Structure 1
């Protein structure tokens, strides 16, 4: 039975917490308001657990997470914790096969709060890539990563907030919500600045964030946390494919594979997955869809590879026995 390590599900307590806010990020009904972005109409049907299960009945486990690009984790503690607590309460109450990644407040590093959340049954911790993209960021969250290591639970690195688009950003999904469909660009009235297409945040800032997080963890995170399992969303923005350039700059060579660092497949397809497999091997690639914004890709590498990506590898990431074994 397959595992999907990357889904988003906006539950009632989470949406109610966003509706109680008077500043971004906030919901007005189902209209999402973010700083520097046009209002975005969330489709409530996308966040119906029963409909989600019906769309993919073959899953043994689907891990949901907080939408890190919203920037909730970086809010002041008095703003962040009520939303995070609401997310945890509803996520833990979801029916099987749902599970969830923990979230935490980055303006109030609290290892005890994380330990308490994990001990209630959450699968590991999700952090935005913006929090772990440099040595200073990794040092700041090191106490949280120690909590994971103590419990033999993984870290999931997900894109964080994108900087506000230049004037003329498209009216499609805002930086906090990446959709599978291309959004039209919106001209900037009188600005003389070309419109930024709606796909820009997902393709440029998110990928840049994941590159920085990938290389930062290798350089600064791994020496401090030698046994920690880490999973990077969206194939780490294909950062591993820069190994030849890295080697030429004295940063290591090809063939150096950290078997405790995983990459999930959301938003990519067979060509990108094949390239990552050629670089790192099949054993570190795990299935992720980013539902409801995308579908899980088929690696198109045969049945054995599909089983590895959807069953064997995610269970190793999560320190979880395969069903039936």
Structure 2
């Protein structure tokens, strides 16, 4: 069991949903796993039970890889709209327990812009989920500039989740275990290198899984950009620090020191990665986060910030 706290429950920014229509669409395309993990079972009731076990007040739900574009652009538009509408109804029924990162059918940019408008104007989504790469095109590449500009204009929070690398997998290495970290890091690198972060300094983007490799390798990445495109190392590091970072699968005594040393204290958010991370894995990393923050000198003061306060600042609706 996690260490108890007197503060209000956590806000979990990295929690997934797998509604029946999504699973049916994946089955039609012969998809039975995501990131090398078999698709888990999910229901609102099981989500609430998990959250109660881990002192999570609210889970901001998102679809994981492969997202809603499964190859057919017409199907992708229809599937995105149907799933976002159903997601919004779930939040409407339980606004205290669930939040919404709306899906978009990238790499179809026009369809994505329409989905963003619908999610914001009509569904009042808490934000949008984007994959680090959409069918081989990475966030940060110029093709997606209109999407990033629109998300900035609408002041929507962006949750960036890894997908499978646009390359053949290596036998014996499930993508979720290693490739996902690289995928997130590639997207973050390109978002900084190609000036997306600099052009949109107020765009709030969350990197999954403690940013992949970013906190550990940010200085190396910054020197790479200095040699490649002549950017100032300090400016590059500040751009990387503008990202938010969740703790999903990262509450360990090896990952947390890099994350806490690099990220801004108010830019670290709790994440569970349930149900792709099963209950015992959520317990392992949540307990690891609690124990590290509780027993490391100077860190208990930011425990409530990571658990809830930082996310509440991003999502004021969830703090009511």
Please state if 1:263 is matched with 2:245. Answer: yes
2:114 is matched with 112
Structure 1 residue 133: deviation in Å? 9.1
Structure 1 SS opposite 2:18: coil
Report Cα offsets for 1:22-69 as digits up to 9, x if no partner: x333xxxxxx278xx99x75443xx0211221222233321111122x
Superposed, 1:94-113 pairs within 5 Å as 94=90, 95-96=94-95, 97-110=97-110, 111-113=113-115
Task: State how far apart, in whole Å, the 2-side matches of 1:274 and 1:153 are.
Answer: 29
Which blocks of at least 5 consecutive residues in structure 1 are unaligned?
A: 26-31, 167-195
1:159 is matched with 162
TM, length-normalised to structure 1: 0.75
Structure 1 residue 141: deviation in Å? 1.8
Superposed, 1:118-267 pairs within 5 Å as 118-119=120-121, 120-131=123-134, 137-162=140-165, 163-166=167-170, 196-197=171-172, 199-220=173-194, 221-249=196-224, 250=226, 252-253=233-234, 256-258=237-239, 260-267=242-249
Report Cα offsets for 1:150-186 as digits up to 9, x if no partner: 22111111011344434xxxxxxxxxxxxxxxxxxxx
Q: In the alignment, which of 8, 13, 16 is matched to residue 5 of structure 1?
A: 13
Structure number with higher relative contact order (C-alpha < 8 Å, ≥ 6 residues apart): 2
Conservation of the 8 A alpha-carbon contact between 1:8 and 1:290: yes
Task: State how far apart, in whole Å, the 1-side matches of 2:210 and 2:124 are.
Answer: 26
TM, length-normalised to structure 2: 0.76
Q: Tell me how large the CA RMSD over aligned residues is.
A: 2.9
2:30 is matched with 24
Structure 1 residue 7: deviation in Å? 0.9
Which blocks of at least 5 consecutive residues in structure 2 are unaligned?
A: 1-8, 295-299
Please state if 1:280 is matched with 2:263. Answer: yes
More helix per residue: 2
Structure 1 residue 223: deviation in Å? 2.4
